[in-house]
Amino acid sequence: MKIQRLFPNLVVDDLAADQAALEALFDLERSFESDWFVQLRSPCGTWEIGLLKRGGRGTPESIAGPPGGVSLTVVVDNVDAVEAAARAAGIRVIVPSRDRFYGQRQLLLGLPSGAVLDVSAPYDPDADWVARVGPDGSGGFVESS
């Protein structure tokens, strides 16, 4: 089966609040809007995110609980600029920008819905960590201990 589109949907209490937060952080345009669903996408259409209103007529009850155990990763070219935009827009910074041993500069943000955005950009990985990572034989990579 060929996938035509794949995007996450967040269940939120306030569509406008999460929409405003995402638009403040990233170059997004609204491709659909109703009283129960908002679809945002990048101008080139490479990624999309949906916002479903909790209790809305199109939101299944089985997914209406608060988000938990999931973060959305967004890879950008400048994590520090996203952090500045988040602070200017009053978006909760869970963990400020920091360099991670595995080769990412990372920032964790909390959306009004409670969802967590893991915003990252490539960064030079720690040499000791790189020395432990190698091909796994199936086209991927594995970290040895």
pLDDT tens-digit map of 32-80:
999 999 999 999 988 899 999 999 888 888 888 877 777 889 999 999 9
Is 103 among the domain residues? yes
* Domain count along the chain: 1
State residue 25's pLDDT score: 96
Which of the residue ranges 16-20, 71-75, 123-127, 141-145 would you say has the lowest mean pLDDT?
Answer: 141-145
Is 139 among the domain residues? no
Is 107 among the domain residues? yes
Q: Of 79, 87, 91, nearest to 115 (Cα)? A: 91
d(C-alpha 104, C-alpha 74), whole Å? 12
Q: How far is CA 81 from CA 42, 69, 70, 72, in A?
A: 17, 26, 24, 18
Q: Does residue 16 surpass a pLDDT of 90?
A: yes
State residue 106's pLDDT score: 96
d(C-alpha 105, C-alpha 81), whole Å? 12
Backbone region of residue 22 per phi and psi (left: phi > 0; alpha: psi in -120 to 50; beta: other values): alpha
Is 121 among the domain residues? yes
State residue 140's pLDDT score: 81
Is 138 among the domain residues? no
- Put simply, whether the predicted model's pTM sits higher than 0.75 gets the answer yes
Is 143 among the domain residues? no
| pLDDT mean over 81-88 | 97
* Domain coverage including residue 126: 9-58+67-133
Q: Does residue 14 surpass a pLDDT of 80?
A: yes
Is 20 among the domain residues? yes
- CATH code of 28's domain: 3.10.180.10
Is 125 among the domain residues? yes
Residue 106 token pair: 């990372």
State residue 10's pLDDT score: 92
